[in-house]
Amino acid sequence: MTTATTAAKAAGPAPPRRIPLLPLSAALSAVLLLSLVCGVGLGASGLTWGQVGHFLRAGLTGSAIRPDEVSAYTIVWEIRLPRTVLAAVVGAGLAVTGVAVQAMVRNALADPFVLGISSGAAVGANAVILLGALSALGVWALSVSAFASALVAMVLVYAAARSAHGLTPLRLVLTGSAMSYGFSAVTTLMVFNAERGEAARSVMMWLLGSLGGATWGSLPFAAAAVLGGTAYLAVSARRLDALAMGDETAATLGVHPGRLRRELFVVTAAVTGAVVAVSGAIGFVGLMVPHVVRMVVGADHRRVLTVAPLAGAVLLVWVDVLSRVLLAPAELPLGVITAVVGVPCFLLLMRGRRGYAFGGR
């Protein structure tokens, strides 16, 4: 046995080969475009692909449609298309915030909801569904109330977690978890006292994630929040690399850990609040996608933040398709499907890729 072979065995298994970033991003972009088309075409209404293509062209070009096509056109252009695009936006937002939160708290089990923001948003959403709060806002009441309560939750978590040493990872996780239990208790009490069974069912659908209320009007705010948050994180990719290595290492590299963690907290909380306000609490996407992406492209945040939003968008578009077609015409909550599909896939990936350690070997 040669000296080189002996040294290689002593060093352990070789790191997995990383897929080049540009071809992977191009392939995922093509898959996302195809997924969007499929998301619009698949459903319980029985429309043909020719009809779907015709109505999409009509909507994009402004061409006229026959009076007998109005109902089918409405299904494609006013219901399915904004819903599918919103699914992509929400999936991308959950994926990138998952990357940021895991770097911020240096915890492999962290996801966008560990800060208690989604539980806070649930209080505002329930106030609309069960109590009729902000009814003067009409269709905007649910989103506005959920986002406003998410911001209140953000302020409360920040105030409780902040200490003389700034926002430390452990205090942030513990405070967010504790606040999440408190907000969940308020939500449970509201549901328990609800007089209408259908309202309680609507609350459960929202708590497990649903895009049934998607409209063109709900897209701009969520899309702007996700784009802005992703752009900030992409610019901060090198600082995220430093922060993930520990506060002392980050400080030696010229990164102020406390300041960066405060910035990340505000950005991730705002993006999480924006997407939760339009989709409800969809679990597992922000936990699973960052890990899977790191397996493929490595731990460099510049690479991860390029691929993660595309992967998250593709995943949630197909999750939404499954939610609509599995029990059509009824819909399944999105969180149920992400858990049923994600848990076994995550466990298989964790056991199958020994070159990647989930937060340590």
* Residue 49 pLDDT: 87
Assigned superfamily of 92-352: ABC transporter involved in vitamin B12 uptake, BtuC (1.10.3470.10)
Q: Rounded to 10 degrees, what is the CA torsion of 296, 297, 300, 302?
A: -130
Structural domain boundaries in the chain: 92-352
DSSP 24-91: HHHHHHHHHHHHHHHHHH-SSS---HHHHHHHHHHHHH-----GGGHHHHHIIIIIIHHHHHHHHHHH
CA distances from 97 to 93, 106, 269, 298 (A): 6, 13, 8, 18
* Residue 161 pLDDT: 86
Element (H, E) at 320: helix 301-325
Per-residue pLDDT reduced to its tens digit, 282-330: 988 998 899 889 988 988 999 999 999 999 999 999 999 999 998 878 8
Is this prediction's pTM over 0.85?
Answer: yes
* Residue 354 pLDDT: 52
* Residue 82 pLDDT: 94
Beta strand residue intervals within 106-226, DSSP E: none
The two structure tokens encoding residue 201 = 């069912």
* Residue 353 pLDDT: 55
CA nearest to 278, candidates 124, 53, 136, 103: 124
* Residue 166 pLDDT: 72
What distance in Å separates the CA atoms of residue 252 and residue 122, rounded to the nearest whole number? 40
CA distances from 275 to 17, 151, 229, 231, 309 (A): 34, 13, 12, 16, 13
Residues of the chain with pLDDT under 50: 1-15, 358-361
Beta strand residue intervals within the chain, DSSP E: none
* Residue 356 pLDDT: 56
CA nearest to 111, candidates 168, 176, 156: 176
Helix axes 334-352, 197-208, angle to 10 degrees: 30
